Chain A
């Protein structure tokens, strides 16, 4: 009765895949190390003053020396970024579901979403800072505006992407609206949502940093962007680099987290997460 058993396991193929996986980690690390060493060497060899380009060793030293203040700022930026991302997910998915279910709602509200998206956040931020008392809340709104849109649009497209024959089948079996959403529309939308999440994660960080730049350095409880501006005023270039390093690090962590989440959710079935098995 069976047509076609599993293909025989190709040992050479597996070995090649494993080597590629290792290389994908080793190569960037090696290259990064070489680049940092080269940087260190060039700065020392040409005796470039530290207020122009500081050596990596000095940046590391600054990181350790200013650890308490930099950590407090990092924590502020982390909180801001992840909270705005979380709110963007909630808002984007809820509004996206509403759009997908009701055409009139989509037609009437979509222009507002577009206006929010196309207006640069730098341009609205000063107004938001005036109208909202709490600086944290104002920054949160700015970051949310930037991260929210891709989640909204992808959720709408994703919820509409379910296979038409499967929809018919659900109708034939008299699925309730909740069953249709839970077992058909939501899983169909998941690949689109995960793609949006990866974009929105990066955007939330950009939104958080840009908004803080506009807000300027006010108060003690401020984020990494404020440390960068502050250090720039004081010409503390190594500290600028140290803060910049932490911002990049945060961006990388967000990227890894969202990629990992995407792989966890889609890995067993979606083409985008299945690497060359056939």
Chain B
């Protein structure tokens, strides 16, 4: 199901003052892949993602995103660790924002906002305000906002880290379905081995000090996956394999974390 390269990182480095956050990182992500960036805190996985999004300038190297097909207002969708909603705006207006900034009139964008809300199961909450929603629902709004422009690439920065286990696994399942339905290319940052094994078709393990690419591993289990995969022997075996790779990259003082 993977196609042409859609994101290419070519010898990318990022320094914050004296600290080398990302060191000489190269990789190519193909269309339709679900890639997780996995690693301990401080390994530069979020920094790498933010450089792809264009939030951070690169110190060296180049990131290429292949030209857009032209039918979307924007090629990228981004979901932060926090829901990052505008508290003064209703759920509808929060999801409408990317269209609004692209100059789409409210009347013209309305059906697309409704579709996006429907996809994340929040149709009934269009007129609510963020403070009235639970953490999981806020995250769903954030996902709807990222998808409303019909991007080809979805970038997610530890989006479910702050949620409880039940909400998290439900959102994992919904995310797989959304990614499959829209044929999205997803780059998902996490520090959870289980989450990366469950969600993705490819895991890029990163190591810290300096932040760098340590291993690039393919997960061959059939995708899209469902709840039964979580309890299968394959899942356990893959989790062990990734876990061992990750452990090999850790510094001695990080193992107890």
- Partner among B53, B166, B170 whose Cβ is within 8 Å of the Cβ of A172: B53
Q: Is the CB of B76 within 8 A of A4?
A: no
* Chain A positions near chain B (C-beta within 8 angstroms): 1-4, 6, 163, 165-166, 168-175, 179, 183-184, 187, 190, 268-271, 274
Q: Is the CB of A173 within 8 A of B102?
A: yes
Size of B's binding interface in residues, CB under 8 A: 34
- Partner among A165, A170, A183, A187 whose Cβ is within 8 Å of the Cβ of B80: A165
Stretch at the interface among B24-32, B130-138, B229-237, B238-246: B130-138
Please indicate which of the listed interface residues A1, A3, A174, A183 has the most CB atoms of chain B within 10 Å of its own CB: A3
Is B42 positioned at the interface, with any CB of A under 8 Å from its CB?
A: no
Chain A residues closer than 8 Å to B122, beta-carbon distance: 2
The answer for the CA separation of A165 and B97 in the assembled complex, in Å, is 14
The answer for the CA separation of A6 and B134 in the assembled complex, in Å, is 10
The answer for the CA separation of A270 and B88 in the assembled complex, in Å, is 7
Chain B residues closer than 8 Å to A6, beta-carbon distance: 132
Total A-B Cβ pairs within 8 A: 69
A106 CB, nearest partner CB in chain B, Å: 25
A259 CB, nearest partner CB in chain B, Å: 19
Contacts A3-B170, A187-B88, A269-B131; A172 near B54 (Cβ below 8 A): yes
Closest residue of chain B to A167 (Cβ to Cβ) is B55
The answer for the CA separation of A184 and B131 in the assembled complex, in Å, is 18
A186 CB, nearest partner CB in chain B, Å: 10
B255 CB, nearest partner CB in chain A, Å: 31
- Partner among A2, A171, A174 whose Cβ is within 8 Å of the Cβ of B55: A171
Closest residue of chain B to A3 (Cβ to Cβ) is B136
Closest residue of chain B to A271 (Cβ to Cβ) is B131
Q: Is the CB of A268 within 8 A of B121?
A: no
Q: List 7 A-B contacts (CB under 8 A).
A: A1-B120, A6-B132, A169-B84, A172-B53, A175-B101, A187-B89, A269-B129
A265 CB, nearest partner CB in chain B, Å: 9
A185 CB, nearest partner CB in chain B, Å: 12
Contacts A165-B80, A168-B53; A3 near B88 (Cβ below 8 A): no
A20 CB, nearest partner CB in chain B, Å: 21
Q: Is the CB of A169 within 8 A of B78?
A: yes
Is B162 positioned at the interface, with any CB of A under 8 Å from its CB?
A: no
Chain A residues closer than 8 Å to B136, beta-carbon distance: 3-4
Is B87 positioned at the interface, with any CB of A under 8 Å from its CB?
A: yes
Closest residue of chain A to B124 (Cβ to Cβ) is A2
Q: Is the CB of A165 within 8 A of B88?
A: no
Q: Is the CB of A183 within 8 A of B100?
A: yes
- Partner among B86, B121, B166 whose Cβ is within 8 Å of the Cβ of A2: B121
B77 CB, nearest partner CB in chain A, Å: 9
Closest residue of chain B to A184 (Cβ to Cβ) is B86
Closest residue of chain B to A176 (Cβ to Cβ) is B101
Q: Is the CB of B78 within 8 A of A3?
A: no
The answer for the CA separation of A173 and B97 in the assembled complex, in Å, is 9
- Partner among A2, A165, A179 whose Cβ is within 8 Å of the Cβ of B101: A179
The answer for the CA separation of A16 and B97 in the assembled complex, in Å, is 39
Q: Is the CB of B131 within 8 A of A187?
A: no
Chain B residues closer than 8 Å to A165, beta-carbon distance: 80, 82, 84
A165 CB, nearest partner CB in chain B, Å: 4
Please indicate which of the listed interface residues A165, A175, A190, A271 has the most CB atoms of chain B within 10 Å of its own CB: A165
Q: Is the CB of A4 within 8 A of B87?
A: no
